[in-house]
Amino acid sequence: MTDDILLKVEGHAGFISLNRPSALHALTLPMVHAMTAALLEWRDDPAVKCVVIDHADGRGFCAGGDIAFLRNSAMNDGGESGRKFFHDEYQLNHLLINYPKPVVAFMDGITMGGGVGISQPARFRVATENTKFAMPETGIGLFPDVGGGWYLSRLEGRVGQFLALTGSRIAGAGCLSLGLATHYLTSNALAEAKSRIATEDVERIDGILGTLSVTPPDSKIIETIVQINRHFASDRLEDILASLEGDESEWAMKELATLRTKSPQTCKVALRQLSESLKLTDFADNMAMEYRIASRVIVRPDFAEGVRAVIVDKDNAPKWDPATAEGVTDALIDAIFAPLPAQEEWKPL
């Protein structure tokens, strides 16, 4: 167990509180294991009728995974410990989406990467005025994993592709509009919500959250859906870039400039990932696909270079390899998506 996860049962609710404020509650492997163990224990405990996932003190809900650890793995052990992290984290994601008891995730703050992976499987997903949702992985040579292919591909229009490629942040209002959140509460109502969820009839969770909900402000992402659907219509990165290049509007130029900073390799991976995920009917198959991708991408040059540029040296000047969309061949993408040896494939718990 780890002090970075606080576990308690209050009333009939099991509470999992992320408690690593110095890193915005980014997930480590011990945190993943502590969450998984608690969920397995409570699954068979008749006294626990629902589960609440939130964060303890400090900002953010969960800023993602332990990126420095993953980079160290890529550079020093050939990605072995990094693959272990992905493997077990994906088992947690799968456990959550198939959990037989209601799960309520309070996305009160930064909800990125791994934070998306532990909130989106929840039956109830609560956004607030503090919510900042994003899948920013293409900026460090990764891809929107932890089930990102499943969730993003199923958003309306081409919003999922836009979010996957640009890493754009969405506020709580946008999360509600897109269905990434089921309810929108002000942060000062969360304590009452949690108390009532823990003590009132578990069948009343939706009603409790609905009663405490407020009307959110207008959503910026909804205001740009027409442009998003037009410019991000293709599953070819080259087509998206060309479409944006042909539009001199301030919005198009801004998004084009953003895309120019991302890894062309993992942008193409993300487009293929979302396209393939939409064809799947089982979340486990999606996670098996994402594990194949993760196993390859973590040891590709762009990951170590992206983390160096954005997180280590912070010069924000990554030298991507390949450097252009045209340089990323179909053969490379095919190799990243190819099956692993049978004994290495991801499997659910």
78 is known as an active-site residue: no
Element (H, E) at 295: helix 283-297
d(C-alpha 198, C-alpha 70), whole Å: 36
65 is known as an active-site residue: yes
Q: Which two tokens stand for residue 236?
A: 């070819």
d(C-alpha 209, C-alpha 341), whole Å: 46
Q: Of residues 64, 65, 113, 174, which has the active-site annotation? A: 65
Q: Of residues 114, 139, 141, 149, which has the active-site annotation? A: 114
d(C-alpha 208, C-alpha 205), whole Å: 5
Q: For helices 264-277 and 159-166, what crossing angle results, to 10°? A: 150
CB proximity list for 289: less than 8 A, separation 6 or greater:
149, 273, 276, 277, 280, 337
Q: Of residues 89, 108, 145, 255, which has the active-site annotation? A: 145
d(C-alpha 311, C-alpha 68), whole Å: 8
C-alpha radius of gyration, the chain, whole number: 20
Report helix, strand or coil for 195.
helix
The residues annotated with a catalytic role in the active site are 65, 114, 137, 145
